[in-house]
Structure 1
Amino acid sequence: MEILLWLVPSAVVTAAAMAWVSWASRDGRGEVDRDVAAQRLGRALAKDLPAGTRRTSAPARDRSTGIAVRPSHSAPASRGTTRRAG
């Protein structure tokens, strides 16, 4: 049981942080009127984006598995290479 005493300081700090966050984020701090917020949102959505900032989908990337894979042997065997059985 004594070995768990090293957890006490971290538990106290965690509890204090949780209490501070719950106090700091309580209702009524910096509240904006709903109508004003709706107007701001409407104006932001109505704006046109500048020409260079239009988002496009990311290009499809090959998913690397971390394993090196040799290309298939679909080339004709007349290049002087021999295949080993096995």
Structure 2
Amino acid sequence: MEILLWLLPAALVTGLAMVWAAWVGRERPERERTQAEQDRFAEAILRPLPPAARNRPRPRERSTGVAVRRTSSDPTRRSA
């Protein structure tokens, strides 16, 4: 039985991590926003974007590295 004592620290750390994750992920009640906070948010949302931000090119989507097979109904596929 003493040979299993080396598992105790790992089990304790795992248990503490599970308790911490449950505590952090708990559902919290939604707090009521003050009128000043709501007004400041509405002002920020309605403010027009600067011209430089509107014309900025969108970043390209990066490849995930996953190959996708074309289906036989794909018109771009060549028949061999």
**What band does the TM-score fall into relative to the shorter chain?**
0.3 to 0.5
- TM-score using structure 1 length: 0.34
Higher relative contact order (CA 8 A, sep 6+): 2
